[in-house]
Amino acid sequence: MTKIVFLDRSTIGPSVSVNKPSFEHDWVEYDRTRPDQVIERLAGADIAVSNKVPIRRDAIEALPDLKMICIPATGYDAFDTEACKERGIVVSNVRGYAVNTVPEHTFALILALRRSLVGFRQDVIDGEWQKAAQFCFFNHPIRDLAGSTLGIFGEGVLGQGVAKLGQAFGMRVLFAAHKGVDGLGPLYTPFDQVVEEADVLTMHAPLMPATANMISDREFGMMKKKPLIINASRGGLVDEAALVRALDAGQISGVGFDVLTSEPPQPDNPLLSILERPNVIVTPHTAWASDEAMQTLWDQVVEHLENFHRGTPSNRVV
């Protein structure tokens, strides 16, 4: 009988119906798994389901029965794909499940910051409206999106989804060419031009050596529009220490981040020192996590398990 072990059920919201595959199997589920528990818990398993629990070479070499790793996420940097390839282990991920939730979360951050909702909400809580001598007051800037420029880094399905929303708001949308790369064609605007011209810069690129810290001190110094900086993609695309320096220097007007370089954040993360500011919003990596998106994600997981069992693996990374 096929043994399937799910290492981190708690990373999928409680609203999700965690359906099981239809073929005969033994299902073992853990809420959380520490790295030092991986080998013990996967002993005898044919299939591992793991969202964020790393499965590295040492574990792969110690698990002779393992035939598949199914990742309920798109990113797979926590898994040693080279070791899996050497062993013939199939690795499948999920894709396209967040086509609505991430763009919507991105625009929730943009709208809240562009219209200073956090600052005005706090003013009402603090009694500022009650003390005002007129029907409204102007403690914070309020800017329309219509007519402004949206710069998008990453032209995949999520970047395209954000572009559609931007266009619906009447924004001029620019897709940035890859940093340091020329000749990508007319659909792309040179990287530096996007940095200089955008009122809002939003990240939707994968994290890899070419994109790590692609927005740092140099880029902040080029920003003529004092843009909002939004990241609902991967921590590490923006140099976080440089980001705080840019905010302090008035080079940018606000920060909306759903991802950080280390999650949960370490106490020395620079963004933790500015959370109380009205032009800063940090959410705990929840852009992907609408009920609808998570159910779609899990349905894909079950589909991949079924396909593997039939001998036709799908969404193979390895």
Q: How many CA atoms lie within 13 A of 1 on its CB side?
A: 11
* Amino acid in the structure at residue 35: P
State the angle between helix axes of 117-125 and 101-114 in degrees (0 to 180), rounded to the nearest 10.
60
Answer yes or no: are the C-beta atoms of 72 and 293 closer than 8 Å. Answer: no
DSSP-derived letter for residue 51 is S
Which of the residues 29, 40, 82, 263 is marked catalytic?
263
Q: How many CA atoms lie within 13 A of 183 on its CB side?
A: 0
Backbone angle region of 89, left / alpha / beta, with phi > 0 → left and psi within -120 to 50 → alpha: beta
Q: Residue 230 — φ and ψ, nearest 5°?
A: -120, 135
DSSP-derived letter for residue 1 is -
The CA-to-CA distance between both ends of the chain, in Å, stands at 24
Active site residue 306: no
Active site residue 234: yes
Which of the residues 234, 240, 304, 309 is marked catalytic?
234
Which of the residues 25, 95, 172, 285 is marked catalytic?
285
Answer yes or no: are the C-beta atoms of 191 and 176 closer than 8 Å. Answer: yes
Contacts of 244 (CB under 8 A, 6+ apart): 270, 271, 273, 274
User: What is the Cα–Cα distance from 255 to 158, expressed in whole angstroms?
Assistant: 19
CA geometry: angle at 277 spanning 271 and 282, to 5°?
45
Q: Which residues carry out catalysis?
A: 234, 263, 285
